[in-house]
Structure 1
């Protein structure tokens, strides 16, 4: 999983030189209880050109964006170095190893927090800048990936992101079918069990009558059961989805009509009374469709903007 995450989603050429046969997970006990409550941190180390490289993977499942994520990671990396020094686990050269901080974000809103610590701090003279802490992290903002492109990738992380992006159960079943065949090896028992728990969490966002996820033994049982049940609960789900889509279209038509009326009114008022100020534009933009129609009917008879817009 870590290999696929790094190779598939970190756009740096040198990651292909990593020796993934040396990959091992480390104990992250050095993280304080206060910090642990806000993250699910995973630290791995892997050999890079004969020396250890540490991967700090922060799985960010919050719906809100942490503006100071770079500061959090600076703290985490500092604690990692402190722990390596205290436990005498520094490389043979006695220097702290390089760290690649990775944030995997699953929220709906686009990630807007600064990726570089320098972008958070106050501007300082060049002479002072050299003394400031430096840190930049790699962001994986999964909602920004295209589902079609992810489908082409033979990559476990890509499959999980496809599952998160699935808008209907059928798309989720396709991912499960793929994984069930892909992981059909006894050596993947632990991973299959973990994925079963993961998909069980994803399924909670669907209303699937008759589906008892907790009763399923593994990923294969989940895939088989969902495939058998898809015809039973797929129709009402699609009907509800279609009803919602139609409602959205009707609402969009109404909003589009209001925008067109407001645009025409602004154009006519500008021809009669000159450029409109911001207050007038805001008043028009906030008006209802009925109010806009009334103003349009009266615009040719009004002697001034106040005469027209002052009446509701």
Structure 2
């Protein structure tokens, strides 16, 4: 999955938290009664036709009682600042303003990597400026991670690995991101989904994972208990299907998640091996996960 898709999913799953982090001043007026809904890309493409410029998901905030006019948040993630086009963003915001008949549009750009970028677009002549377009820039690598260690905002906690920290803080950043995930997200499917998010951006190597398990045993134990519960749930789902194929698919899915929880993103050959194994083999491998210190121990242990 690409960085762009990771962030689109994040905005879709946690729209209020995304607005609160990336556009804090504007978010203060959004109360619990407001409804936040994504504007679907298919809808935009159909209505804008050739003018359609696909960026990230726009979020429409509406007050059902009509006491305030709706406001549109256009949140774009840009991995490399050098690729960012303020002209493209301005075009997109003008298109959306015309399409949705609103002048209440808040452009936000989230930068993932360090680099310079143009912060505004001004068009005019000698006598005056006739178009002055600006946007909110949230450059993650410039935000001190430590400032968000105790944040109740899950989007902030998940993005700790993308923020600024010293090499000696890397494992603490990873631990605080994991704590945020386990304490702020009760849904097991989303926990699994955003465990991958943290792992992708933290990019711990094998030595760092070993040190992490030694330094943060409570966090490792919590994730291990979660893996066990998730494993049992997957087995129950497989049994309910009543078919060998269903059981095998359930075991494979759970084993993939177990291994990712403990060892991080898996090499493609490992994923392929798991997906092609039978149910009994998958069960044996699953039983080895909790005692294995390295990935290859799950597969190379004596039968």
Instruction: Please tell me the TM-score bracket, short chain as reference.
Output: 0.5 to 0.7
Whole-angstrom CA distance in 1 between matches of 2:125 and 2:190: 48
Structure 1's consecutive aligned runs of 4 or more residues displaced over 6 angstroms after TM superposition are 223-226
Whole-angstrom CA distance in 2 between matches of 1:155 and 1:15: 13
Match of 1:144 in 2: 142
Shift of 1:42: 1.0
The reply to whether residue 70 of structure 1 matches residue 82 of structure 2 is no
Match of 2:234 in 1: none
Is the contact made by 2:73 and 2:106 (CA closer than 8 Å) also made in structure 1? yes
Shift of 1:218: 7.8
Match of 1:5 in 2: 18
Match of 2:195 in 1: 196
Is the contact made by 1:45 and 1:54 (CA closer than 8 Å) also made in structure 2? yes
SS of 1:126's equivalent?
coil
Instruction: Mark the structure with the bigger radius of gyration.
Output: 1
The reply to whether residue 44 of structure 1 matches residue 59 of structure 2 is yes
Which of 246, 261, 264 is equivalent to 1:222? 261
Give per-residue Cα distances to partners, 1:244-266, cap 9 Å, x unaligned: xxxxxxxxxxxxxxxxxxxxxxx
Give per-residue Cα distances to partners, 1:95-121, cap 9 Å, x unaligned: 434110110001033xx3222211xx5
Shift of 1:190: 5.5
SS of 1:108's equivalent?
coil
Give per-residue Cα distances to partners, 1:179-208, cap 9 Å, x unaligned: 112212xxx456434313313423546346
Which of 173, 176, 181 is equivalent to 1:174? 176
Give per-residue Cα distances to partners, 1:144-189, cap 9 Å, x unaligned: 11122111322112212212246434531332133112212xxx45
Match of 1:158 in 2: 156
Higher relative contact order (CA 8 A, sep 6+): 1
TM-score (normalised: structure 1): 0.53
The reply to whether residue 101 of structure 1 matches residue 107 of structure 2 is yes
Is the contact made by 2:121 and 2:132 (CA closer than 8 Å) also made in structure 1? yes
Which of 9, 22, 28 is equivalent to 2:41? 28
Aligned residues: 202
- CA pair 232-203 structure 1, distance change in 2 beyond 3 A: farther
Shift of 1:72: 1.3
Whole-angstrom CA distance in 2 between matches of 1:155 and 1:125: 46
SS of 2:41's equivalent?
coil
Which of 117, 123, 147 is equivalent to 1:113? 117
Match of 2:76 in 1: 58
Give per-residue Cα distances to partners, 1:208-262, cap 9 Å, x unaligned: 689xxx844389x827999x99x958xxxxxxxxxxxxxxxxxxxxxxxxxxxxx
